[in-house]
Structure 1
Amino acid sequence: MDLLYFALLCSVLIFVHELGHFVCAKLFGVKVLTFSIGFGPKILRLRGRETEYCVGLLPLGGFVKMLEETRQEPVLPEDRRRTFEAQALWKRVIIVLAGPAMNVLFPVLLYFAVFVGETRFVPPTVGAVLPAHPAEGKLHPGDRILEVDGERITTFAELQRIVAKNPGQELKLKVFRDRQHVEVKVIPEEKVIQKPLEIVERIGELGIRPSRPAPVIGISRLDSPAYRAGLRSFDLVTEVGGRPIKTWTDLEQALTDNRGATVPVTYLRPMPVTRALGGLADMAVYESGVAALTPESGVADLQSRAGIEHADLYVADVPQGSAEWKADLRPGDRITEVDGVEVTAWSTFTERLFASPDKPHVITWLRAGQRKSGTIELRREDYLDEYGQTRPRFFLRATNWSPMVPEPYVEGGPAAIRLAFENALDETYDVIRFIMVGILRIVEGKVSISTLGGPITVYDVVGEEGAKGVSYFVWAMAVISINLGLINLLPIPVLDGGHLLFFTFEAVLRRPLPLRVREIASLAGLMILVGLMGIAFKNDVERRWDVIQGQFRELAG
């Protein structure tokens, strides 16, 4: 099956590449003698009016043979104007450039085919607003965003796309709130993302999420009405007085007007299962229960009247032996401060830690109403990425449990097609930039040449992605197509980029380079190409050997 995927990928990409040369040659009137996909014995031959179409047994290459005066075949007088050399320089440039261009543009169609398959989308409804972000105080949970700068949107993905492309630029949002339309002006903050190969990307963020917090409660005081009623942190409330509860907002509304009246609260409590599945997984099962909650009278908030708040800032798990465990942080503790600064959400807590990941931080928390603190350092792991660069990773071992309730999906409609095309263009651009920067980093010596991959690596990748499904195979085909197109543009004789280099000299000198010079350059280019292929093949063999050794070690262990 892997061989079939590999043959299919090579055949399609080679066909697309040669089709670019073929179509442009035909458009400019160049006589095309042969259009061949594959090498070796011909398994299919079709004779057209003037072109022979062939399919070779080995799908590892292809060619478009045009009528050229420099070749051995005689050229009839009536065909002299139809030779490749007889064309204007700009036409020859387009004919040569068309092959790599097709390989670079073809992924737009492939990515579009993947993205357009997504028919259900999250609506542009605000589920949660993160503290200390631009949306705080301007957008509220439940807001439905209808337009951005006059552009109508129907999905949260469209909103994210527009916001990401406008960091630091004011956006005018048309919002449906409380049965009326309101206009909200907000400026997305700039977020810097560090990517491999020293690529830096800056995007805009509002600090909103499309899903609403689930009604998971946290209880920090042992003398609170909730604790006395038998409720505990991380209980998931399902009903209050027979009223179904789906989100945290539902829970707040159900208890808003309660001033001292006892009400039954139905909940599900996660109970850890030790050595679940024979020790293969950490699991918890829900245990149902009912508590008689009697909030205190008064007009204070839910935390003051009942001792209930959302469990977002409560620690759910702390691995033994971790820095957080050694600092005396335990499950059930409620985070309150980082380095003396109050935090109001787990997202703010982690943002402050990862803003200076290599420095110690003083954490303050509440346990059974008592204030405690300790110093922690994020766990650091240095690793070599696939490009030979040493990169650090930082980990916070303590985790919370704050499940979200997604909004009902909506159909994308016509907007889904536009969004799929825009995402396809973005994805193609990102891959092109990544590959070009990778080539530059290899030239600079910042990335090892051992990262080059050859046909064995392509074979492995295509087989792995093909086994996952059609969309993964198409995704891999798109990336490899862009690789093929950009590599063909390298200024190495025998590649399309080498021909473009000859044309550049021709434009400067006002005459073609001598045939002998082109032949010597082509021979040198061929030697360079063979050398690069040898390095890539050596890297492939070493990677495969490392995999085999790893498998032997696993079997021996």
Structure 2
Amino acid sequence: MADFFGSVWWMIVSLGLLVTFHEFGHYWVARRCGIKVLRFSVGFGRPLWMRRNRAGTEFAIAAIPLGGYVKMLDEREVDVPAAERHLAFNHKTVWQRIAVVAAGPAANLLLCIALLWAMFVLGKQDYSATIGRTTGMAQAAGLQAGDRVLAVDGRRVATAAEASMALTTAAMDGHDARLDVLDSLDQARTRSLPLSQLPAGFDERRVAPLAGLAWQFWLQPAEVDTIQPGAAAQGVLLPGDLIVAVDGQRIDGADQVATQVQALGQRGGPGMIEVLRAGERLALEITPRQGRDGRGQPTWQIGVGFPEQHAPAYDTQLKFGPLAAIPAALGETARMAGDSLGMMRRIVTGNASLQNISGPVTIARVANISAKRGLDWFLYFLALLSLSLCIINLLPIPILDGGHLLYYLIELVKGSPLSERAMAAGQYVGLALLAGLMGLAFYNDILGLVPR
């Protein structure tokens, strides 16, 4: 329940902030162009708070916090006195109208850059692209635990998230990925990961594990937390022991222990379990005993438990001085924009699944998770969301800013405005497209809540 209210709260905070900046962009340029603004609203529906300034603009906070709008004086919507026609939006030049409409997405773009700048100055804690374990095609490609990925297909990566995104992109495009890595001996290597061999219909959210890659921070250390009374481990292991091998098989994470204990039990007889205890590596003899798992099935056990909550420590930081953070923020904005536009292109061409489209439920959940991780992560989330709002609003869909810009570009070409009938038809088409996108986003959100 706390997560639910936290998600709702941080979604309201996030959307409220970004929508305010977006609408302020429209408002500020409209006022510079001599247009009378009737209302500046954050949210839709019945106003919960309202105040009017000297210029006659109503500033409001409305009940539904999923957007906002700036209402300008316009003869197509209200009767305008002759004395105020020069203040109406529809009486301004096409270039002024273009500037007003484009100012909203531009405000979100500038906000994205500013948020990333603040994040880099503060310093973003993150996880390096260090490999913790390899199996399958990754192991066959020569990748090993301890390798640190420096670049994917020539694109530099600083974190595991960036490397995962680059691998996902390569997999969706159906080609093998070239990885530049630094191994545990600091030797530079190049490896080819045959992502083109992934089966059709693969889960695009799990490209790394499907390719046999497990990032180091995914692995929970096999550090003993509890020992069951009377179990095989009692008198052999101690809480705090770090299991590093079972019967000669290396252990990289807690999830491997049960499998290796099962193999040892099936082999029969005692085996050696190696642990790190107080900085010393010990080899101890242990004999698994047969018991039953949570489903009542027979299994071999040694009777140890690991911590339920695993919070891996960050092992890298992206931090720059105030001046150096400017090009870093610009570069990160360009990278994020390229990834977003590339994903949209792949969805349209069918190379990416429609499941990549998310809605307010996902936004709320990610907002809450980011806020819990710290200010640096929340700033990054806000920057990504702000950039997404910028890009979405520039799509050439009527009722969005991009649709209006399309109208004005057509007006520039033909030398006269589109007819009201054509614009009205476009609005209906835009509403239908937007309703379809929102329905798909909600469907994917709900599907994401269903346990798999």
TM value normalised by structure 1: 0.50
Q: Quick one: distance in 2 between partners of 1:395 and 1:479?
A: 25
Residue 509 (structure 1) aligns with: 414
Higher relative contact order, structure no. (Cα contacts within 8 Å, ≥ 6 residues apart): 2
Give 1:347's match in structure 2, choosing from 175, 187, 205: 187
Q: Quick one: distance in 2 between partners of 1:532 and 1:389?
A: 28
Give 1:53's match in structure 2, choosing from 49, 55, 59: 59
Give 1:70's match in structure 2, choosing from 76, 82, 88: 76
Stretches of structure 1 lacking an aligned partner (at least 5 in a row): 121-159, 167-192, 209-311, 314-344, 359-379, 401-411, 551-557
Residue 204 (structure 2) aligns with: 385
Stretches of structure 2 lacking an aligned partner (at least 5 in a row): 1-5, 126-149, 157-164, 216-248, 253-318
Change (3 A) 1:417 1:508: same
Residue 395 (structure 2) aligns with: 490
Change (3 A) 1:355 1:461: same
Q: CA deviation at 1:386?
A: 2.5
Residue 86 (structure 1) aligns with: 91
Contact 2:105 2:389 (8 Å CA) reproduced = yes
Residue 197 (structure 1) aligns with: 169
Q: Quick one: distance in 2 between partners of 1:347 and 1:389?
A: 23
Q: Quick one: distance in 2 between partners of 1:95 and 1:14?
A: 16
Change (3 A) 1:80 1:391: farther
Q: Quick one: distance in 1 between partners of 2:99 and 2:209?
A: 41
Matched letter for residue 355 of structure 1: R
Matched letter for residue 187 of structure 2: S
Q: Quick one: distance in 2 between partners of 1:119 and 1:481?
A: 18
Matched letter for residue 91 of structure 2: A
Residue 47 (structure 2) aligns with: 42
Matched letter for residue 383 of structure 2: A
Contact 1:387 1:448 (8 Å CA) reproduced = no
Change (3 A) 1:346 1:11: closer
Q: How many pairs align? A: 307
Relative to its length, the structure with more helix (as a share) is 2
Change (3 A) 1:395 1:525: closer
Change (3 A) 1:516 1:392: same
Identity of aligned residues (%): 31
Change (3 A) 1:43 1:389: same
Residue 270 (structure 1) aligns with: none
Q: Quick one: distance in 1 between partners of 2:58 and 2:419?
A: 30
Change (3 A) 1:118 1:515: same
Change (3 A) 1:195 1:78: farther
1:512-547 CA-to-partner distances (Å, cap 9, x unmatched) read 0110110111011101100110011111111111xx
Q: CA deviation at 1:392?
A: 2.6
Change (3 A) 1:388 1:533: farther
Look up the SS of the partner of 1:70 in the other structure: coil
Change (3 A) 1:194 1:393: farther
Residues 118-133 of structure 1 mapped to structure 2, 5 A cutoff: 118=123
Relative to its length, the structure with more strand (as a share) is 1
1:249-286 CA-to-partner distances (Å, cap 9, x unmatched) read xxxxxxxxxxxxxxxxxxxxxxxxxxxxxxxxxxxxxx
When Rg is computed on C-alpha atoms for both structures, the one with the higher figure is 1
Q: CA deviation at 1:97?
A: 0.5
Change (3 A) 1:428 1:391: farther
Change (3 A) 1:390 1:467: closer
Look up the SS of the partner of 1:416 in the other structure: coil
Change (3 A) 1:52 1:390: same
Q: CA deviation at 1:74?
A: 1.6
Q: Quick one: distance in 1 between partners of 2:206 and 2:74?
A: 42
Q: CA deviation at 1:389?
A: 11
Residue 105 (structure 1) aligns with: 110
Look up the SS of the partner of 1:20 in the other structure: helix
Matched letter for residue 102 of structure 1: A
Q: CA deviation at 1:80?
A: 1.0
Contact 1:107 1:478 (8 Å CA) reproduced = yes
Give 2:27's match in structure 1, choosing from 22, 39, 51: 22
Change (3 A) 1:486 1:13: same
TM value normalised by structure 2: 0.61
Contact 2:123 2:376 (8 Å CA) reproduced = no
